[in-house]
Amino acid sequence: MPVPFDFAQPLWLMLLPLAALPLLRRRSDTLVFSAIAWLPHDRVGQVAGFLWRAFAVAAMACTVLGLAGPGRSGTEVLRTGRGAEILILMDRSSSMDANVVPKDVKAGGQFNDSMPTKGRIVRELLADFVRRRPDDRLALMTFSTSPMMVAPFTQQHTPILAGLAATAIGRGLPDTHMGRALVAAIGEFDGRPYSGSRIVIVVSDGGAQLDVATQQRIRAGLAEHRIGLYWIYIRSGPNSPDLMQESVGTMDSQDELALHTFFRTLPTPYRLYQTDDSAAMAAAMAEIDRQQNAPLSYLERVPRLDHSPVFFAVALGCCLGLLASRALQLPDWGHAA
């Protein structure tokens, strides 16, 4: 349904009747010649007089309408592209402030405090991922003790990049409540029309053992909104569980393994990306980038469209027409004599 025209300053419309002033006859328009019927019929003059009045009426009317601020409010534009609706759920706990230990150091090499932290590497990779996907609808949420919405779903990626940069400020809290964060992330899809692929990307170095009620809410929410789940699991060290080995499937005492075991039972797609260093994290983000490239269409609400410049431009054109017609006028009989 088309959005109707509205006016930002409708009181200006009270001046609109003034546009009829050029249609009123003036004393100078009356000829005092006694034998007016003897003059030849001036078709060019009649056309010129009509155009002069038309230009004058249009110039005044368009000026008043432009001052009234015509436009359309709440316009929605259909956007199409290739991508997905992606909510990034980023772990902001204190463990993400630890340095990434390369494989050679884990094997007995020398550790260096100047090595980048997990949080820094994640920020850089996620920012690069966002820049490569201009058509995505993205949202950013962080979590530690409680989830915090940083930027709701938007096609404008500047708030997402600013939110990622802001995660570098301060240090995280010690707790990681994954279940509460997942429930909050799924809730961001409530009331949103389904327009294409949907995923939640969880970036974390820890897990959680969820109670039955939380598991049911997560399972039902993912199925209702048709959301896929991607977990980029960052191993903190050699003592962290290796989730890629089937033999560890009975070690439910470990939070990461308990969470992975639950995710594997979800009715919606689930992918695990286990990473040990920055190269593995970059490879995981690149694979997600390749996979989530399906057709995507959505309605985007744009700011109010102001059409005042169009009316002012028409008024200016009419004024130029008046000047041109004035310059082409022949001198009257009195001056000619």
Of the ranges 28-32, 117-121, 313-317, which is most confident? 313-317
Q: Decide: 83 and 199 in contact? Cβ < 8 Å.
A: no
Is 87:126 a contact under the CB 8 Å cutoff? no
- For the residues of 34-85, what is the DSSP string, one character each? TTGGGSPP-HHHHHHHHHHHHHHHHHHHHHHHHHT-EEESS-EEEEEEEE-E
**In this predicted model, which residue has the larger pLDDT, 116 or 213?**
213
Q: What share of the chain has pLDDT > 90, as a percent?
A: 25
- Confidence at residue 325, expressed as pLDDT on a 0 to 100 scale: 74
pLDDT score of 235 more than 90: no
Q: Which residue has the higher pLDDT, 181 or 246?
A: 181
Distance of CA 142 to the CA centre of its chain: 19
Categorize the per-residue pLDDT at 217 as very low, low, confident or very high, splitting at 50, 70 and 90.
Answer: very high
- Evaluate whether 280 touches 101 at the Cβ level (below 8 Å): no
CA angle 43, 44, 50 (to 5 degrees): 90
Task: Tell me if residue 130 falls in helix, strand or coil.
Answer: helix
- For the chain, how big is the Rg over CA atoms in Å? 34
Q: Are residues 143 and 105 in contact, defined by beta-carbon separation less than 8 angstroms?
A: no
Give the rounded distance of the alpha carbon of 8 from its chain centre: 25
Better pLDDT: 113 or 134: 134
- Which pLDDT score is estimated for 59? 92
Distance, in Å, from the CA atom of 221 to the CA atom of 180, rounded to the nearest integer, reads 13
- Is residue 207 within 8 Å of residue 259, measured between CB atoms? yes
Q: How far apart are CA 137 and CA 206, in angstroms?
A: 27
Angle at 29 between CA 23 and CA 33, to 5 degrees: 150
Phi, psi of 285 (to 5 degrees): -65, -35
Interatomic CA distance for residues 100 and 113, integer angstroms: 10
Name residue 81's beta-bridge partners.
Answer: 296
Interval 22-73: pLDDT, tens: 888 665 555 566 666 666 776 766 777 788 888 999 999 999 999 999 988 7
**pTM score above 0.85:** no
**φ and ψ at 191, to 5 degrees?**
75, 0
Out of 5-9, 85-89, 111-115, 241-245, which region has the weakest mean confidence (pLDDT)?
Answer: 111-115
Most confident of 31-40, 128-137, 167-176, 234-243: 128-137
Lowest mean pLDDT among 59-63, 134-138, 271-275: 134-138
First to last CA, the chain: 64
**Amino acid of residue 261:** T
What are the C-alpha distances in Å from 178 to residues 104, 215, 231? 30, 11, 12
Least confident of 27-36, 148-157, 159-168, 327-336: 327-336
pLDDT band per the 50, 70, 90 thresholds, residue 337:
very low
Contact yes or no for 257/248 (Cβ under 8 A) = yes
DSSP state of 123: H
**Whole-number Å distance between alpha carbons of 263 and 280:** 21
pLDDT at 216 > cutoff 90: yes
Query: Measured on CA atoms in the order 55, 60, 61, 62, is the torsion positive or negative?
Result: positive
Which pairing describes strands 85-91 and 137-143: parallel, antiparallel, or unpaired? parallel
